[in-house]
Structure 1
């Protein structure tokens, strides 16, 4: 099933509903602070599992006590789609469960 790019207004409306997520260039992104390093690495592993479950993958950056996630949909020409928001919502729940801020 092909996904379609979301209109700019819908992107903005959806971002307003997910705490901390912003539009950066052609991606939606969020950074989390979590510590120490092992906790951050564990969060990355859980995000990776969700991505596999969804068949939709983001760029993840692991820092000492931080994790940054940025995503768009390559199959839609790098646009933002409903898949990106589904992933963002799942990541947000995971991050909270891990105690990330």
Structure 2
């Protein structure tokens, strides 16, 4: 997967396919999910950690009582958004429904 920074147009196109994800002012893709219980949120964090290890690409991952928040960019691309970030976001979107996240 490429670590070449995506253009603003490419990022916006990708965000159109990632409901709930936004581009923060600091240049990171982010999303917060709400879950039914703290246990469900914790299970989702563990699942996300597994995906991050598979991709060898890690986000800032925050566990709240019944929320899970992610913020991601590629350090090796100077903090820009790359295909690696979009792939991680897609993988998290794919696993979220299985945890009852919305």
What is the root-mean-square deviation of aligned Cα atoms in Å?
1.1
Aligned match of 2:96: 95
1:33-92 Cα offsets, whole Å, 9 max, x none, are 002101100000000000000000000110000000110000101000000000000001
Gaps of 5+ in 1: none
Aligned match of 1:36: 37
**Number of residue pairs aligned between Structure 1 and Structure 2:** 101
Query: What secondary structure sits across from 2:96 in the alignment?
Result: helix
Aligned match of 2:4: 4
1:20 aligns with 2:16: no
Q: What's the TM-score, normalizing by structure 1?
A: 0.96
Q: Distance in 2 between matches of 1:68 and 1:2?
A: 24
Q: Distance in 1 between matches of 2:69 and 2:98?
A: 16
Structure 1 residue 94 displacement after superposition: 1.0
Query: What secondary structure sits across from 2:19 in the alignment?
Result: coil
Q: Distance in 1 between matches of 2:72 and 2:45?
A: 14
Contact in 2 for aligned 1:21/1:28 (Cα 8 Å): yes
Q: Distance in 2 between matches of 1:83 and 1:2?
A: 7
Q: What are the within-5 Å matches in structure 2 for residues 51-62 of structure 1?
A: 51-62=52-63
Query: What secondary structure sits across from 2:80 in the alignment?
Result: coil
Q: What's the TM-score, normalizing by structure 2?
A: 0.95
Query: What secondary structure sits across from 1:52 in the alignment?
Result: helix
Which aligned segments of 4 or more residues in structure 1 are displaced greater than 2 angstroms? Answer: none
